Amino acid sequence: MIQDIHPHSFNNKFVVTSGIRENDYVFHFIDNSLLLKQEDDIFLIPIKKDLKRLSDDGIFLFEFNNINCFLVWECVIPENSMLVYNEISFLRNQTQKELDWVTSVAFQLKNWYEQNRFCGRCGSATQLKSDERAIVCPNCHKVLFPSISPAIIVAIRNKDKILMARNAHFKNGFYSLVAGYVDAGETVEDAVRREVKEEVGLEIKNIRYYKSQPWPFSSSMMIGFIADVEDLHQNICIDNVEIVEADWYSRENLPTYPPSRSIAGEMIEKFIAGEL
Ligand SMILES: [Zn+2]
């Protein structure tokens, strides 16, 4: 999955630092694009000394390969440098999977800081909390932590087949597993039953946990489950809104499915390998 970057290391523990050192990594975004250093076919995150001038002290993000990473809002790029802006989706198709992961998390945090510059309760300008990854309002003292939305994804089994569905919003026409956000006042298990009933009209049983996956692009936490259909002969009944096609598929005739950087892709590959 996207977060599996071994032998590289990622540590999101918040650390109180004394600022950006010369060899620390610096993340600078313009909208959806990130500043990267290109050396032939290799992309690198710039370090402080690659940049001409930094106008702020930066926000500590995380450690990548034991090097502190900071977000900066403004910087000046030296002339004739190898620095270029690339849309973060560009890294999806590169071989440097570790960059795909760390830039995604940096992008998630960048958006969170950017969207909370003012307090949602009283409208005052917010401040960064110095001792943890949090934002605080100096006026009403509201404290904000990174917003993460829990979502379920479920592989439904029917003997040796799996349910695959095509979502109306999928641009490239692939099929995936049933998924959806957990609602207020709902357990994740209830969300699994509700989403399956709403999207494909099936009753399920034997719901068991698989794994979870942070999905930075939508600030979600994907929580994976496996379940069995209650009645092997029950008809699939799609909602025709979110789901436009759904059916049972055996290992031999699966439709196009997501890559294994997502939990959906990994679960489908486990099914193909007979491990799900
Ligand atoms: Zn406030």
Q: How far apart are the CA of 259 and the centre of ligand 1, in A?
A: 42
Q: How far apart are the CA of 47 and the centre of ligand 1, in A?
A: 35
Q: If 0-12 CB within 10 Å is exposed, 13-18 middle and 19+ buried, where does residue 67 land?
A: middle
- In this prediction the pTM is 0.92
Q: How far apart are the CA of 125 and the centre of ligand 1, in A?
A: 8
Three-state secondary structure readout of 166-232: EECCCCCCCCECEEEECCCCCCHHHHHHHHHHHHHCCCEEEEEEEEEEEEHHHCEEEEEEEEEECCC
Q: How far apart are the CA of 120 and the centre of ligand 1, in A?
A: 7
Q: Which two tokens stand for residue 141?
A: 């003292």
Chain region(s) in the chain for CATH 3.90.79.10: 149-272
Closest of 47, 45, 43, 44 to residue 20, by C-alpha = 47
Q: Which two tokens stand for residue 221?
A: 């936490």
At residue 57, the pLDDT reads 82
226 beta partners: 155, 208
Q: How far apart are the CA of 153 and the centre of ligand 1, in A?
A: 35
Q: If 0-12 CB within 10 Å is exposed, 13-18 middle and 19+ buried, where does residue 30 land?
A: exposed
- Sheet with 10-11, side-by-side order of all strands: 10-11, 59-64, 67-71, 25-27
Q: How far apart are the CA of 116 and the centre of ligand 1, in A?
A: 11
Could you please state the CATH topology (level 3) that the domain comprising 149-272 is classified under. Nucleoside Triphosphate Pyrophosphohydrolase (3.90.79)
Q: How far apart are the CA of 187 and the centre of ligand 1, in A?
A: 30
Q: Which two tokens stand for residue 236?
A: 């699939």
Q: How far apart are the CA of 60 and the centre of ligand 1, in A?
A: 23
At residue 264, the pLDDT reads 96
Q: How far apart are the CA of 70 and the centre of ligand 1, in A?
A: 26
Reply yes or no: is the peptide bond before residue 146 cis, omega within 30 of 0: no
Q: How far apart are the CA of 117 and the centre of ligand 1, in A?
A: 11
Rounded Cα–Cα distance for residues 68 and 4 (Å) = 19
Q: How far apart are the CA of 126 and the centre of ligand 1, in A?
A: 7
pLDDT in tens, 30-82: 999 999 999 888 999 999 999 877 767 899 999 999 999 999 998 888 887 89
Asked if 72 and 28 count as a contact pair (C-beta separation under 8 A), the reply is yes
Q: How far apart are the CA of 142 and the centre of ligand 1, in A?
A: 6
Q: How far apart are the CA of 144 and the centre of ligand 1, in A?
A: 10
3-state DSSP assignment of residue 27: strand
Residues of the chain with pLDDT under 50: none
Q: How far apart are the CA of 141 and the centre of ligand 1, in A?
A: 6
Q: How far apart are the CA of 136 and the centre of ligand 1, in A?
A: 8
Rounded Cα–Cα distance for residues 107 and 34 (Å) = 9
